Amino acid sequence: MKKLYWATAYIRGRFFAGIRTTSRCELLHAKLGRFVERRYGILDFVTNFQRCVEFLRDNEDEMDFRSSYGTPVLQTQFPKLEKSGAMKYTREIFSRFRESLQRYVRITVVESQPREGGTIYVTQKYMQPGRKWNVMHVLALDKYTCSCQRMESFGLPCVHILSVLVWLDVGSLPDTLVLGRWTKSAKFGLYDDIAGEKIVDIAALYRMRMGTFLQHRECLAQLVYNNDDLFKLYSEQIVQEAISLESMNDLGNSVGIGGGGDNGRVLDPIGVCTKGTGRGNVQVGARGTKRRKCSTCGIVGHRRTQCQNQANMSVPNSQDEVPRMVS
């Protein structure tokens, strides 16, 4: 049997988000290979790796923008159900949802069997009576499950469930058929609801919030960088808000914006000499001004080349001359 078939049978009923091979890792390696080379040192590697991360984040921002703004053109004969998917799913996931909705004509509901707490609908493929799937609808939870287990494997309703929704004249996707990770609001919170208690993944929550805040910062910087007044206004507001937040959280003595300086602002670093250690810890403004001294006469205020006393000191007086002894 081909690998395609046994791989599908193995992942059926287990959530793999539609990933059957290592193609996703290979794609990430290919994108990273465009920025990083084998001959790079540690500094070049870190610099180009950061460029790669920024490139991936820009692509993600572009996809989020396309999903948040604009409405795709409705193409199926079920506009209400299709529009419901367009409002909830991201653009890429919606395209896959619409493909399943377009294949509805191949599936028909041939039988409904009432059960305790719900109903079982038997669906059949067109002109193939031997291929049937059972769709279970629990009325109390408004939950749909299919024997093909595509919802459990990928997180999208299969064509069999969609055929039952159309047969029941349902105009909107139930919340039980919409997986949170495929929606437009997936980044708004990272909570797992277990037995009524919300458990937070601290590391994932930190990465999500930090990435979101940095994206807002980059957007703000692009809007105000070419306007002097706006740049000054928002810079002062950000500094003041940071100072107030630090004071609220008792972080006034920490290293950062509120760490010392004039009214909590960041000042220039202390200038130190690059050679010697005599006055390395003394601020530049506190040092005394060194005055130049003449090397000939020792008087402060001029150099040796400008010394007026040089001629008098170099030529001795006639009275002080000692006569040369002639043998």
pLDDT tens per residue, range 272-287: 656 655 555 555 555 5
Q: List the one residue out of 233, 115, 226, 119 whose CA is nearest residue 167.
A: 119
Q: Which phi and psi angles does 128 have, rounded to 5°?
A: -135, 80
DSSP characters over 27-92: HHHHHHHTT--TT--HHHHHHHHHHHHHHHHHHHHHHHHHHHS--PPP-SS-HHHHHHHHHHB-HH
**What distance in Å separates the CA atoms of residue 147 and residue 129, rounded to the nearest whole number?**
16
| Whether pLDDT at 175 is above 60 | yes
Quickly tell me which residue has 């130049």 as its tokens: 292
Return the domain boundaries, the chain.
Answer: 3-68, 79-179, 204-250
**What distance in Å separates the CA atoms of residue 230 and residue 31, rounded to the nearest whole number?**
37
| Whether pLDDT at 135 is above 80 | yes
Per-residue model confidence (pLDDT) at position 200: 55
Q: Among 94-98, 99-103, 173-177, 322-326, which stretch is predicted with the lowest mean pLDDT?
A: 322-326
**pTM > 0.95: yes or no:** no
Query: Is the Cβ–Cβ distance between 131 and 111 less than 8 Å?
Result: no
What is the SS3 assignment for 114?
Answer: strand
Q: List the one residue out of 125, 117, 129 whose CA is nearest residue 163.
A: 125
Q: List the one residue out of 171, 180, 156, 179 whose CA is nearest residue 103.
A: 156
**Maximum separation of any 2 CA atoms in the chain, in Å:** 148
**What distance in Å separates the CA atoms of residue 262 and residue 151, rounded to the nearest whole number?**
60
Q: How confident is the model at residue 119 (pLDDT cuts 50, 70, 90)?
A: very high
Q: How confident is the model at residue 257 (pLDDT cuts 50, 70, 90)?
A: very low
